[in-house]
């Protein structure tokens, strides 16, 4: 998204023509809906502005997101993190059902936060992207990436210091030694590089 804004009209036309030729939407991430699959899902606040800036807002949105995946989407949530300007989910679900539900959640929270901040009409969310999980390695690297995300973005020094993340559930369920083994066996390296190009 951000690179596109810096392009010349000719470069923009080339990019759009290539996306049309591949059957992708002109300006949004393509979604490949084919029943229930496991995905890493990411959504960011528009222009990555930090709008989830209070503990109460982070708590409320996290609860709505986690509960909604299970109760409304009828998916299985494996890992998650909510940050002030974006979130990541690792979940098994039907992408078409998720797309309809997340649109409603984004819309309701946008309306609420704009009212709270006296900012009517402000654009809050910029769509979501999905990547289908292709292997066990991809799955566990995604878990590590999600849990490390608050550290990567400089919010905390240790992943366990960020409350709005599934790392605490993993510590309780599989223990610190198993998480450390996954970290060694499934390093994130440059995982996630370039994702902002689509958000």
Per residue of the chain (199 residues), give pLDDT as tens.
445 566 687 776 676 667 566 555 554 455 455 679 999 999 999 999 999 999 999 999 999 999 999 999 999 999 999 999 999 999 999 999 999 999 999 999 999 999 999 999 999 998 899 999 999 999 999 999 999 999 999 999 999 999 999 999 999 999 999 999 999 999 998 887 765 544 4
CB 184 within 8 A of CB 118: no
Distance CA 162, CA 98 (A): 26
* Domains of the chain by start residue, with CATH: 31-198 (3.30.70.1290)
* Full-model pTM: 0.81
Distance CA 55, CA 162 (A): 11
DSSP per-residue letters across 70-93: HHTS--EEEEEEE-SSEEEEEEEE
């Amino acid at each position: 998204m951000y690179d596109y804004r810096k392009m010349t009209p000719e470069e923009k036309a080339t990019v759009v023509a290539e996306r049309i030729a591949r059957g992708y939407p002109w300006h949004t991430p393509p979604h490949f809906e084919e029943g229930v699959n496991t995905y890493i899902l990411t959504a960011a606040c528009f222009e990555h502005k930090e709008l989830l800036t209070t503990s109460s807002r982070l708590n409320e949105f996290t609860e709505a997101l986690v509960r909604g995946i299970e109760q409304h989407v009828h998916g299985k949530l494996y890992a998650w993190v909510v940050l002030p300007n974006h979130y990541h989910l690792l979940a098994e679900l039907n992408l078409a059902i998720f797309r309809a539900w997340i649109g409603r959640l984004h819309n309701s929270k946008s309306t609420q936060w704009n009212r709270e901040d006296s900012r009517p009409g402000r654009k809050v969310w910029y769509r979501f992207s999905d990547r289908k999980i292709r292997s066990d390695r991809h799955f566990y690297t995604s878990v590590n990436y999600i849990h490390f995300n608050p550290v990567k973005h400089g919010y905390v020094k240790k992943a366990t210091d960020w409350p709005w993340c599934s790392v605490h559930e993993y510590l309780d369920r599989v223990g610190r030694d198993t998480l450390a083994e996954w970290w060694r066996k499934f390093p994130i390296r440059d995982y996630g590089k370039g994702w902002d190009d689509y958000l």
